[in-house]
A and B are shown apart, each in its own frame.
Chain A
Amino acid sequence: MSGVVVSHLRLVSTPLPRPNPDEACLDAFQRELDYVFRTLRRLGTSPGEVEDLAQEVFLALRGAWAEYDAERPLRPYLFGIAFRIASAHQRKRNREVSFGVIDVGDAGPGPDAALERKQARVLVLAALERIPLPRRAVLVMHDIDDVPVTQVATVLKIPMFTVYSRLRKARRELEAALRRIVKETNTR
């Protein structure tokens, strides 16, 4: 009984324990793991490399966690990190991944709706591959992640005008790429 009293007193007299920053960072990463993987794929990381780059995102997030303002939404912040890592990785590889063949055959058995959904995702991913990374990042953030233009400009550290011009061009490129891929698939 006395143990209960002591622990109660201790709770009252000591300030609230601050959450361990490492644990908080890991929690955030865990919550957004699906998003991190998908974002890296959208930014052109191959399936074989996405796990390693996700770890780099985590290490970068952890390194910058002290500066992260918890009031800000996490996803755009993570996107900024993922974008820098994917860009550096792409520069290192210095090659474009060709998605000439759309492999919708490996979608696996499933209901029509699920298959259609999967095919659409493969198609979008393939079309995104054909847009240069700086413009692709703007398009993914704004048109897929629904991030406002002002925030896109902040995260990517570019002027608003540049965001608009990249977005306009990226949308045209996306539309053209989708059309081309569908045509290529139909003629194959």
Chain B
Amino acid sequence: MTSFHPPLPPEVDSLLDHERDIAPLPAAVRARSLARARAALVAGATRSSSRPMAAPRRMRWAAAAALVCFGGAAIGAVAYEVRVRLIKEPVARPAARPVATRPALTALPEAPIAEAPVAAAPSTAPDTHAAPRLSRADAARAELRLLKQARAAVARENYAAAMSPIAEHGRRFKDGRLAEEREALRVKALAGLGRTDEAQRAASAFRARFPRSVLLPAVGRMPARER
């Protein structure tokens, strides 16, 4: 085959030789990627970027997803309306108002990722799971956005800044698909802030909640290391 074109010069080939060996990823990156992949499996994410390969399946998935979204929107709208009426005076901030006045059914397709869910979720509300008006894909994006902020802050060692997105994620997506990563980040941030007792408590809670997590060894080391 290669006789059709001239071979690579030996010095170029020897350089490529170095590139042929693939260095293993750092353990933390590997663990994080696998945790995210596992979370995507658990959440049953259906988004796929390989259009040509999965076209017929995607059509079926799209139809099913549309049906689920429509049903979810209807149920979500009813639940939202009921909740808004039940909670007359939420402890929420004033910023919540404009969102609350939006017609719930039309809000769904617009995917208001950024501001939506904080609205009617005071700390006393019994259900702090995902906001009812977000579709699954939008919720996933919102989760990812929050945790990206937290991760970036932790990477900069600005642990105080990380606490806010972590708390918001916990409030909006208590059992979200990235809850495992959130709790790991919480341990790291608390440890980084020197709140060792809380970090250790969070680490114990993490161990209890995710006994098979790939992040477990890293979480176990954090409270001691960040002090």
Q: Is B87 an interface residue (CB 8 A)?
A: no
Q: Decide if B36 touches A34 in the complex (CB within 8 Å).
A: no
Contacts of A124 in B (CB 8 A): 15-16, 18-19
The 4 closest A-B pairs by CB, nearest first: A63-B48, A120-B18, A60-B50, A64-B53
Counting contact residues on chain A (CB < 8 A from B), the size range is 35 or more
Counting contact residues on chain B (CB < 8 A from A), the size range is 35 or more
Q: Decide if A56 touches B41 in the complex (CB within 8 Å).
A: no
Contacts of A42 in B (CB 8 A): 19
Q: Decide if B23 touches A55 in the complex (CB within 8 Å).
A: no
| Chain A 15-56: CB-based contact to B (< 8 A → 1; otherwise 0) | 000000010011001100111011000100000000100111
- Majority SS of interface residues in chain A? helix
- A-to-B contact residues, CB < 8 Å: 22, 25-26, 29-30, 33-35, 37-38, 42, 51, 54-64, 66-67, 81, 84-85, 88, 117, 120-121, 123-125, 143-144, 146, 148-149, 157, 164, 167-168, 171, 174-175, 178
Partner of A148, one of B1, B36, B57: B1
Q: Decide if B48 touches A33 in the complex (CB within 8 Å).
A: no
Bound Cα distance from A84 to B54, whole angstroms:
13
What would 9 more interface pairs be, CB under 8 Å, given A59-B45, A63-B53, A84-B52? A22-B41, A63-B50, A63-B58, A84-B49, A85-B49, A85-B50, A120-B19, A124-B16, A144-B19
Q: Decide if A34 touches B49 in the complex (CB within 8 Å).
A: no
Q: Nearest residue in B to A22 (C-beta to C-beta)?
A: B41
Bound Cα distance from A58 to B12, whole angstroms:
32
Q: Decide if B32 touches A164 in the complex (CB within 8 Å).
A: no
Within 8 A of A (CB), among B1-49: 1, 4-6, 8-9, 12, 15-16, 18-25, 29-30, 32-34, 36-38, 40-41, 45-49
Q: Decide if B37 touches A174 in the complex (CB within 8 Å).
A: no
Known contacts A34-B25, A37-B25, A55-B36, A63 near B57 by CB under 8 Å: yes
Q: Once A and B bind, how many residue pairs between them come within 8 Å at the CB atom?
A: 116
Instruction: For residue B61, give the distance in angstroms from its CB to the closest CB of chain A.
Output: 8
Bound Cα distance from A58 to B22, whole angstroms:
19
Instruction: For residue B53, give the distance in angstroms from its CB to the closest CB of chain A.
Output: 4
Partner of A33, one of B18, B25, B40, B49: B25
Contacts of B15 in A (CB 8 A): 120, 123-124, 178
Partner of B5, one of A146, A157, A168: A168
Instruction: For residue B37, give the distance in angstroms from its CB to the closest CB of chain A.
Output: 5
Q: Decide if A60 touches B57 in the complex (CB within 8 Å).
A: no
Contacts of B8 in A (CB 8 A): 143, 171, 174-175
Q: Decide if B5 touches A171 in the complex (CB within 8 Å).
A: yes
Q: Decide if A56 touches B49 in the complex (CB within 8 Å).
A: yes
Partner of B16, one of A38, A84, A143: A143
Known contacts A59-B47, A124-B18, A167 near B37 by CB under 8 Å: no
Q: Decide if A144 touches B38 in the complex (CB within 8 Å).
A: no
Within 8 A of A (CB), among B123-179: none
Bound Cα distance from A186 to B16, whole angstroms:
20
A-B contact pairs, 27 of them (CB 8 A): A26-B37, A30-B37, A34-B22, A58-B37, A59-B47, A60-B48, A60-B50, A60-B53, A62-B40, A63-B46, A63-B54, A64-B54, A66-B57, A67-B53, A67-B54, A81-B50, A85-B49, A117-B18, A124-B15, A124-B18, A143-B16, A144-B19, A157-B52, A164-B4, A174-B12, A175-B8, A178-B12
Bound Cα distance from A148 to B49, whole angstroms:
26
